[in-house]
Amino acid sequence: MTARTDAVEELRRQDRTLGFFIVLACGIALYLLLQQTYAQNQKLGWIKLESLLSNSFGVKTGTLIELSGVTIGQVGDVRLRKDARVEIDTLIDDQYAQLLKVDSRLQVSSALGLETVLSGSSLELIPGTSDQLLENGGSIAIVEPKSIDQIMDEMKLEELALQIQTIVGNLETITSNLAAQQNEVAAALANMSAFTGELVVIAEEIPQLLKSVDHTLGSFDSSLDNLDIAINNFAAPATTLMETSDRFMRGAEQSMLALQPTLDAMPGVLSSANQTMLTLNKLTGQVSNHWLLRSEGGAEGTELLHHRMLSDESLYDSREVTADMTNGSRSNDQ
């Protein structure tokens, strides 16, 4: 009874799993169908254009049409006409209708790349410059890619061979010039090596030079410090000396100012003394020549007067004194 129940449960589990996968497959199919229907309905408003090619060049239904790397449409159908030409129907998104000019063209992409290898050829729109737009259902020209044979035919092989020959000759000349200049290159390398050695020597001597410069700068700083100390030590005595000199000059100036009235009065004093001397000389002359002193007994009286006025004739002679006073007065006048 238990084994039968387990078998029934296992069958039910398998039925549920199978039903789940069936429902999932139906949902995916329905989703794809809706996507295709939506895509077809969306493309109904696209602009349809026709083109002719001499060969399909790998273009097939669903080939993308691009402009500057942006997909703007795709190939709707590819069919072969009775004249062995390939007719292509292209569908362009109507939001890019302003780019479809009358002189616009489609070009089969001939670039060899990973995307081209994986997805096949593609078409690229080359916008035109005309002001007139293409109408829906019109035709657009396609620029076919050139084959290798066509490219070789267009190329001038003789000129290309001459160019290659010229290039080879130039390479030989360059090679010979390089061989001739090897000695110069070797000499230059030797000079460079010697220069590098000198640089190494200089680099080794630079630290010692820097130490010498530092020592010199230290000595210079010490000298400056000593000079500052000497200046500071000399400043105080110099200041004191200047102050003393200033006081002395002020005292001398005050003394000169005090002596100035005396100096100013000296000429008057000398003039008064001179006048006094002149008067004294005249008085002495008059007394000497007075008639009373020349009368009888005059010699005695004169002698007596001289004895009274001049007690020592050897020291005081009236005439010599009068002459000396006169000469002194004349000298003062001069």
pLDDT at 44: 61
Whether 313 has a pLDDT exceeding 60, the answer reads no
How far is 11 from 1, CA to CA, in rounded Å?
16
pLDDT at 329: 44
Residue with token string 């809706």: 34
In degrees, to the nearest 5, what angle opens at C-alpha 276 toward C-alphas 270 and 279?
Answer: 145
Residue 101 DSSP label: B
pLDDT at 1: 53
pLDDT at 325: 46
How far is 334 from 325, CA to CA, in rounded Å?
14
User: Can you tell me the mean pLDDT for 227-238?
Assistant: 80
How far is 199 from 194, CA to CA, in rounded Å?
9
Whether 309 has a pLDDT exceeding 50, the answer reads no
Closest CA to 71 of 123, 16, 109, 26: 123
Phi, psi (deg, nearest 5) at residue 260: -60, -45
pLDDT at 17: 83
Phi, psi (deg, nearest 5) at residue 39: -65, -40
User: Can you tell me the mean pLDDT for 144-173?
Assistant: 75
Q: Which amino acid is at 31?
A: Y
Angle between the N-to-C axes of helices 182-288 and 318-333, in degrees from 0 to 180, rounded to the nearest 10: 140
How far is 159 from 177, CA to CA, in rounded Å?
27
H-only helix segments in 139-181: 148-154, 157-180
Please enumerate, as own/partner, the contacts of 203-208 that have beta carbons within 8 Å and a separation of 24 or more. none
Phi, psi (deg, nearest 5) at residue 62: 95, -5
Q: How far is C-alpha 299 from the geometric centre of its chain's CA atoms?
A: 125
The pLDDT confidence band at residue 315, using thresholds 50, 70 and 90, is: very low
The model's pTM: 0.35
Whether 131 has a pLDDT exceeding 80, the answer reads yes
- Cβ neighbors of 298 (< 8 A, separation 6 or more) are 292
CB 47 within 8 A of CB 100: yes
Instruction: Quick: pLDDT tens for 287-308.
Output: 777 656 554 444 444 444 444 4
pLDDT at 299: 46
Task: Show the tokens assigned to 53.
Answer: 């090619």
Whether 23 has a pLDDT exceeding 80, the answer reads yes
User: Can you tell me the mean pLDDT for 83-98?
Assistant: 87
Which regions of 63-110 does DSSP assign to beta strands (E)? 64-67, 70-80, 86-92, 105-108
Residue 107 DSSP label: E
How far is 230 from 242, CA to CA, in rounded Å?
18
Look at 179 and 202; give whichever has higher pLDDT.
Answer: 202
Instruction: Quick: pLDDT tens for 34-54.
Output: 776 655 555 566 888 888 888
Closest CA to 47 of 65, 70, 31: 65
Look at 157 and 33; give whichever has higher pLDDT.
Answer: 33
Closest CA to 125 of 100, 147, 97: 100
pLDDT at 274: 85
pLDDT at 151: 64
Residue with token string 């078998």: 7
Task: Show the tokens assigned to 221.
Answer: 């700083």
**Sign of the CA dihedral 125, 129, 134, 138?**
negative
pLDDT at 144: 82
- How many H helices and E strands in the chain? 7, 7
User: Can you tell me the mean pLDDT for 242-255?
Assistant: 84
